Chain A
């Protein structure tokens, strides 16, 4: 009985919330969300790279001298060229970007 009395306010607020959600159609709008592996993420704040959710402003090193943005750029090491350099390329939004076809953003040198 005591437990029931204590739970009443919680039950009341839950019921109110449920009713709001049922009758307020503005809260029932559904949108498809992007998935990264087995998790969802917010594309306005995050991106999915290698099944990893990253913040959009994350930067990493591409080679010893260059910083790149993994959400927007590709780090392309040219392992088989004589110079063995690193090149940062732009990710083309909407397509699966690849190093051999993406436009160059900048040359990082060796």
Chain B
């Protein structure tokens, strides 16, 4: 009795120490307060229906009146209640009648936000013979993660896709090489290739096409639709072609090389105490990311590397991105030291 009482008290104290989700002062049970628009939005319109059977929305779908997501939006039905149809709330299993929505607006004027279409039901990761949720992509930007078992087939698919892309890149390089040699026979002319920027003529000269269309706000570090020649040390000029066929995602696996690049590229100001060239910020601009994103990425330091975030972003956005493109950008930024590190992967 005494131990139980002690435990109960301890649990209560611990619960009070954590941020508590209190019911909204402005909105009903199945709505949440939007503090910026000053209106109540529907949980269903934000998260879609519960993806798994026998689950329902928690109070205000886990959001407090400041917009913080403090608890998970869904919970399992209480004992004796079911929700096989993906309704917002569970209902007694025997009756099959939907439970009535608890009283909402707490006596205040309820201003509702603009209606939005309800996202489709997401994928339910729970393994259950009762699960009949359709496997469909969720359109909402706040859909739920899937269990690791369901990601295994997609991981295999991604691996196959990457392999196919690598093979295509190799084939493209093999096919384009004779064409380039043919063009180089014309005197004094270099040709810029959109995807590789291979050397033509003087092996120490690296012709850089515009590899990426810049986004607004990134123009200060980019020279669009022009080509430049950057002198490279002979070692780096030879190693770069070896990187062309390798996906950028490889860099995320080569942790030692990545760490070295982080040490070289993340610190600000750039080399020689100058902000003009050569940091991750400028690399992000070359990849077409706005300066605002770089500001955000640098705010994550020291717990998170901006360069790692950049590489992950580029890989997610463009799976076909190659180490060769990264090398081209580093060369254009004048970071021969980083190129030397990257060439270890060649």
Chain A residues packing against B (C-beta within 8 Å):
37-38, 43-44, 49-54, 56, 60-64, 69-72, 74-81, 84, 86-87, 90-103, 105-106
- Residues in B51-74 with C-beta less than 8 Å from chain A: 51-52, 55, 62, 66-74
Contact B18 A64 (CB under 8 A): yes
Range, interface on chain B: 35 or more
Q: Nearest residue in A to B292 (C-beta to C-beta)?
A: A56
Asked if residues B317 and A76 are in contact (CB atoms below 8 Å), the reply is no
Count contacts between A and B, CB distance < 8 Å: 132
* Pairs of residues from A and B, 10 with the lowest C-beta to C-beta distance, nearest first: A61-B68, A79-B72, A103-B312, A77-B72, A92-B316, A72-B296, A64-B19, A79-B74, A52-B36, A98-B143
| Complex Cα gap A52–B142 (Å) | 14
Residues of A within 8 A of B316 (CB): 90, 92, 101-103
Chain B residues with CB under 8 A of A102? 316
Partner of B146, one of A43, A61, A100: A100
Interface stretch of the complex, out of B83-91, B121-129, B228-236, B327-335: B121-129
B145 lies within 8 A of A81 (CB): yes
Interface of B is mostly: loop
Q: State how many angstroms separate the Cβ of B293 from the closest Cβ of chain A.
A: 6
Q: Which of A62, A71, A99 contacts B143 (CB 8 A)?
A: A99
Contact with A along B295-307 (1 / 0, CB 8 A): 1110110011000
Assess A100 versus B143: contact at CB under 8 Å? Given A79-B73, A92-B313: yes
CA distance A98 to B147 in the complex (A): 15
B115-135: CB near A (< 8 Å → 1, else 0) gives 010000001111000000000
Q: Which of A60, A93, A94 contacts B68 (CB 8 A)?
A: A60
Write the nearest CB–CB distance from B294 to chain A, whole angstroms: 11
B19–A50 touching, CB < 8 Å: no
B269 at the A/B interface (Cβ < 8 Å)? no
Q: Does B204 contact A (CB under 8 A)?
A: no
- Supply 7 further A-B pairs (C-beta < 8 A) apart from A61-B70, A91-B141: A52-B34, A56-B296, A64-B19, A72-B293, A77-B73, A79-B72, A97-B141
| Given A51-B114, A52-B36, A93-B293, A99 contacting B72 (CB threshold 8 A) | no
Q: Are A50 and B46 in contact (CB under 8 A)?
A: yes
Query: Nearest Cβ in chain B — how far from A72, in angstroms?
Result: 4
Partner of B309 from the list A77, A80, A90 (CB cut-off 8 Å) is A90
Whether B113 and A90, one on each chain, are in contact in the complex, defined by CB atoms closer than 8 angstroms, is: no
Provide the bound-state CA to CA distance between A85 and B36, in Å. Answer: 27
- Select one of A52, A87, A97, A106 contacting B303, CB under 8 A: A106
Q: Are B144 and A99 in contact (CB under 8 A)?
A: yes
Is there a chain A Cβ closer than 8 Å to B111's Cβ? no
Check A60–B73 contact: CB distance below 8 A.
no
- Say whether B126 contacts A80, CB under 8 Å: yes
- A59 and B317 CA atoms in complex are apart in Å by 24
Known A-B contacts A50-B41, A51-B114, A77-B69; the reply to A96 vs B139 at CB < 8 A is yes
What are the residues of chain A within 8 A of B292 when measuring CB–CB? 43-44, 56
A61 and B137 in contact, given A50-B41, A77-B144, A90-B316 (Cβ under 8 angstroms): no
Is residue B216 within 8 Å, beta carbon to beta carbon, of the partner chain?
yes
Flag whether B315 is at the interface (Cβ < 8 A): yes
Pairwise interchain contact A80-B124, C-beta atoms closer than 8 A: yes
Q: Can you list 22 residue pairs at the A/B interface with Cβ under 8 Å? A: A37-B114, A43-B217, A43-B290, A50-B41, A50-B142, A52-B37, A56-B292, A56-B296, A62-B69, A69-B299, A74-B142, A75-B142, A80-B126, A81-B145, A84-B72, A86-B69, A93-B289, A93-B313, A96-B141, A98-B143, A100-B146, A101-B316
Residues from 63 to 107 in B contacting A, C-beta threshold 8 Å: 66-75
Candidates A44, A60, A100, A105; contact of B69 at CB < 8 Å: A60
- Contact A76-B18, Cβ < 8 Å, known A94-B317, A100-B123: no
Of A53, A78, A81, A99, which one neighbours B142 at CB under 8 angstroms? A99
